Structure formats: C-alpha cells, structure tokens
C-alpha cells in the first residue's frame, strides 16, 4: 500500500471514529479551557475529549485503553508490542 493510500485509510478510520457535537458553555469556562488546552499542548477539542475520556474511564463508563488503543482486557502477546 502506498504512503498516500495509507494516509487516506488512516484518515478515513479517524473520521469514522469522530463525532461532532455543538455545545454552549459559559465564556469564562471556555477561556479557562483554552488556556488549559494550550498549557497541555492540545487543541481545545482534543483537550475536552481527553478530559471527558479520563472522567468516563475513571468512573466506569469506558474501559481503559492500552497505549495501542486496544482495551486492556483484550491485550495479548500478538497485539501488545
């Protein structure tokens, strides 16, 4: 598979995994979140997604993922490397 095709496949997979949503928040909260995102070298959407993911995982709504994006419970010798 060519590099361009690989990029296209990865891009399509990412697009399929992302859902857009529109939220309304207090401007002060948004400004604080933008500062926190910048301090964490993230975009605001990436920062909010990380916060939400961490909270949902910590509270049992999502299964923890390994560094490979695979649920920890599904890791094995073939996919943990």
- Residue pLDDT, tens place only, 21-71: 899 999 999 999 999 999 999 999 999 999 999 999 899 898 886 555 665
Q: Dihedral (C-alpha) 71, 73, 79, 81: value to the nearest 10 degrees?
A: 90
Please state, in angstroms and rounded to a whole number, the distance separating the CA atoms of residues 23 and 7. 30
Handedness of CA 38, 40, 44, 42 (dihedral sign): positive
The pLDDT assigned to 11 comes to 52
């Amino acid at each position: 598979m060519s590099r361009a095709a690989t990029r296209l496949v990865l891009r399509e997979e990412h697009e399929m995994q992302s859902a857009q949503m529109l939220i309304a928040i207090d401007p002060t909260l948004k400004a604080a979140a933008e500062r926190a995102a910048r301090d964490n070298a993230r975009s605001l959407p990436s920062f909010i997604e990380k916060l939400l993911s961490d909270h949902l995982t910590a509270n049992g709504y999502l299964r923890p993922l390994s560094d490979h994006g695979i649920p920890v419970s599904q890791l094995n010798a073939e996919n943990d490397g």
